[in-house]
Amino acid sequence: MIFRRGIKSLAIPDVLKDLILKHSLDKKQILSMKVDDLASILECDFETAKIIQTSVRNSSNKSMLHEMTELA
């Protein structure tokens, strides 16, 4: 599944990846949320939610850069 592969490739501990998958969140949803809301949904603290969101953002930026490089 592309969804699982996208989450599983994040640069965060596996326990956090499993937490994201448990709540059926995808990268787009995570990026569109306020950190407080993400923390509430995942039942984690603010800093952990911020780490998750930053990892997703960095992953998305790398994917976009890779796609742009292939088009050039």
| Interval 18-47: pLDDT, tens | 999 999 999 999 999 999 999 999 999 999
Return the pLDDT at 63.
58
pLDDT the model gives residue 60: 78
CB 49 within 8 A of CB 39: yes
- Residue 13, pLDDT > 60, answer yes
Q: Chain-centre distance of CA 22, in angstroms?
A: 13
In three-state secondary structure terms, 59 is helix
Percentage with pLDDT > 90 across the chain: 69
6: its two tokens: 């996208």
pTM above 0.85, yes or no: no
DSSP assignment of 20-52 equals HHHTT--HHHHHHS-HHHHHHHHT--HHHHHHH
Structural contact between residues 10 and 55, judged by C-beta atoms closer than 8 angstroms: yes
